[in-house]
Amino acid sequence: MSSAWQPVALVARREITTRIRSKGFRIGTLVLLAVVVAFPVVLRLATGSSAHSVGFTSQNASLVQPFVAVAEASGANVKTATVPDQSSGQQQVRSGALDALVVGSSGSIQVVVDRTLDEGLRAAFIALAHQQALDAQVRHLGGDPAQVSAAVASAQLDVAALEAAPEINGQRIALGIVTGVLIYLSLQTWGQVVAQGVVEEKSSRVVELLLSTIQPWQLMAGKVLGIGQVGLVQIAIVAGGGAIAGLVTGALTIPASAVAGTVVWLVVWYLLGFFSYALVLAAASSLVSRQEEIAGVVGPILMLLVVPYVLGISILPSKPDSRLIEVLSLIPLFAPTLMPMRLAFGGVPVWQAVLAVAPVVLMIPALVWLSGRIYRNAVLRTGARVRLREALRAS
């Protein structure tokens, strides 16, 4: 057993050293990492969820507390600052350091802005004005404003939903999109590297020299395992690096365990997807002898990656609970692209996550057998494209 696997290890090691040393791998990994790290930050800036800064003067410092309270209640993200006087405050508004400056007092609130007042802030200020007017009236009627506020705050609305609505969270969407892009790019890239590697050996005729000393299955297994490991290293660096950067910079505030879960699932599905597709791609590319012919044989197979990816990336962000995607993600051919995306978007029942893995794991040995047979019968036949039926027939 060990002697049969030794050539496999040698072939795999050659693939790993050749690929990792290549400039393409290093640059590709760095670019992907940069994109993944930058994406949540860019998304956060684009959706404008950063805190608005509101300045107060010393005359109306008493408004800070109530303002923060109403802003919190209305969901506006604010931070407050006290400015020495009105003119310096206005300077800061003009320079953009402050989004709004509160002047006047509790009786008549005035807000100074550069051009327009943010809608979220406007709602908060109106709520503040209402609150102030209400407090004044309560006081006037001899009541205690604090007591009234407490009573109002305790009155709540209970909503009984018949079906749990998915929680749409901007960060989850970002995570889902990044996961989708990563799994798709990885499977596409490394699948094609396998196909090119097989044809490189055929077109350079080195395959005959190799197969005079090792068996076809050893060459194919070594190639797939070696390239698979290179892809694994890349996706682990990119996904792990992106997750750590997101958590450290605070761009990701969802629980670290959820982020880690997404990364682990991504890697698991990369492995399952890579081995499924790489074996088939190796067999398909062994039918042709020239690099120009690769697209013709691997194109139809790669469409099986493209279609679910396009569906997933266009449907899931707005509708993470899409029934169509749910069903497709349980089908072995589409699971490698769709399941990790769904898992990143969140809300996947555990039974589905597990159920999707099982058929893929069962499918791989069948693919090993089938691909090994095609490869063995086709890889030494250079020249015209080998017909699939001939390759399947025993030589």
Residue type, 384: A
Task: Compute φ and ψ for 81, nearest 5 degrees.
Answer: -145, 150
> Following DSSP, what letter does each residue of 335-375 receive, concatenated?
HHHHHHHHHHH----HHHHHHHHHHHHHHHHHHHHHHHHHH
Q: Are 364 and 276 in contact (CB under 8 A)?
A: yes
For residue 109, what are the contacts with CB-CB under 8 A and spacing of at least 6? 60, 63, 102, 125, 128, 129, 132
**CB-CB neighbours of 6 under 10 Å:** 12
- Nearer to other proteins by Cβ, of 210 and 233: the residue is 210
- Nearer to other proteins by Cβ, of 154 and 212: the residue is 212
**H-run or E-run covering 83:** strand 78-83
Alpha-carbon span 53 to 48, nearest angstrom: 13
Alpha-carbon span 385 to 141, nearest angstrom: 94
**CB-CB neighbours of 65 under 10 Å:** 9
Q: Are 129 and 120 in contact (CB under 8 A)?
A: no
Q: Are 183 and 209 in contact (CB under 8 A)?
A: no
Q: List, in sequence order, every beta strand (DSSP E) within 269-321.
A: none
Alpha-carbon span 343 to 362, nearest angstrom: 21
Q: In angstroms, give the least distance from the CB of 170 to other proteins.
A: 45
Task: Compute φ and ψ for 57, nearest 5 degrees.
Answer: -95, 170
Alpha-carbon span 170 to 318, nearest angstrom: 11
Q: Are 354 and 268 in contact (CB under 8 A)?
A: no
Q: Are 33 and 241 in contact (CB under 8 A)?
A: yes
Q: What are 394's two structure tokens?
A: 């025993």
- Nearer to other proteins by Cβ, of 77 and 395: the residue is 395
- Nearer to other proteins by Cβ, of 25 and 277: the residue is 25
Residues that bind other proteins (CB under 8 A): 7, 10-11, 14, 18, 200-201, 204-215, 380, 382, 395
Alpha-carbon span 370 to 374, nearest angstrom: 6
Planar angle of CA 96, 99, 105, nearest 5 degrees: 130
Q: Are 141 and 306 in contact (CB under 8 A)?
A: no
